[in-house]
């Protein structure tokens, strides 16, 4: 939940523990957005900033068409060759994903 009247629904979200709530109101541990051919990174920026604003520590974007991966570092969207959670418990190379 971004605000009392606004929600974001990521393509994939990961929680460290299964939430007790039916409607998820707490920030996920990892959010993954998957770009479709008509998506633009500039449109994605608003979503990413919303996830960051509610406290999601790991925000990743996958572009399957170009076989690229990105992460949000709190300031900008950065292309990476490996997606890694901030605490290093999850690590996936782009080659593993595609």
DSSP character string of the chain? --BTTB----SEEE-SS--S-SS--SPPSEEEEE--TT--HHHHHHHHHHHHHTT-SEEEEEETTTTEEEEE-SSSEEEESEEE-TTSS-EEEHHHH-
Which residues lie below 8 Å from residue 39, measured CB to CB, with a gap of 6+? none
Per-block mean pLDDT, blocks of 10 residues, the chain (98 long): 72 90 84 91 88 94 95 94 96 93
Q: Are 59 and 31 in contact (CB under 8 A)?
A: yes
- What pTM, to 2 d.p., does this model score? 0.88
CATH of domain 26-97: 3.90.1570.10
For residue 26, what pLDDT is reported?
84
Tell me phi and psi for residue 17, to 5 degrees.
-130, 150
């Amino acid at each position: 939940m971004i605000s009392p009247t606004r929600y974001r629904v990521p393509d994939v979200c990961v929680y460290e523990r299964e939430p007790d709530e039916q409607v998820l109101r707490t920030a996920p541990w990892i959010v993954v957005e998957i770009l479709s051919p008509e998506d633009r990174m500039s449109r994605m920026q608003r979503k990413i900033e919303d996830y960051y604003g509610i406290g999601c520590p790991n925000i990743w974007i996958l572009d399957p068409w170009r076989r690229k991966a990105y992460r949000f570092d709190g300031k900008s969207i950065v292309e990476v060759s490996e997606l890694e959670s901030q605490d290093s418990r999850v690590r996936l190379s782009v080659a593993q994903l595609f």
